[in-house]
Amino acid sequence: MTFLNQTAPDFTLQSSTGERISLSELAGDYVVLVFYPKNDTPVCNRQLTDFSDALADLNALGCRVFGINPASAQKHQDFCARKALHFPLLSDPGGEVAKLYKAYMGWLPINKRTVVVIDPSQKICFYERGTPRPEKIANLIQSRQKV
């Protein structure tokens, strides 16, 4: 299953910062969506911390990063404060957006660990399960910007 070069499904979700984030309003920027299962689990904590640590480099490439899982915006806000995450987490109740991106377990009410990168024209240019490193995302964006 691949989504590469397809138009990314649009969505609007509540953010840990209190604002509503719409993908369509982010056109012109690269967008990284980090679908992850749960807050406060070892692998999720490490993955999100890695992206937070790399955020300045990603932002310098014109990239916006968002974590997504079904937890409430308030739980995300508390989690961001505790873990010192510097990018918003989006609340996706029922995993509706995760389902659009084929990043929802189905038999468990949690996300499959999936990273999606959307280019400035709203096309999916990267889709990978697991925990790809932020450096891999940065290298991809840099190579696309040189073309």
Q: Is 44 a catalytic residue?
A: yes
How many Å apart are CA 55 and CA 138, to the nearest integer?
A: 10
15 DSSP β-pair partners: 90
Q: Supply the Cα-derived Rg of the chain in whole angstroms.
A: 14
Rounded to 5°, the CA angle 140-142-145 comes to: 110
Query: Considering 44, 63, 80, 125, which one is annotated as catalytic?
Result: 44
Strand, helix or coil for residue 95 = helix
CB 40 within 8 A of CB 49: no
- Residues designated catalytic: 44
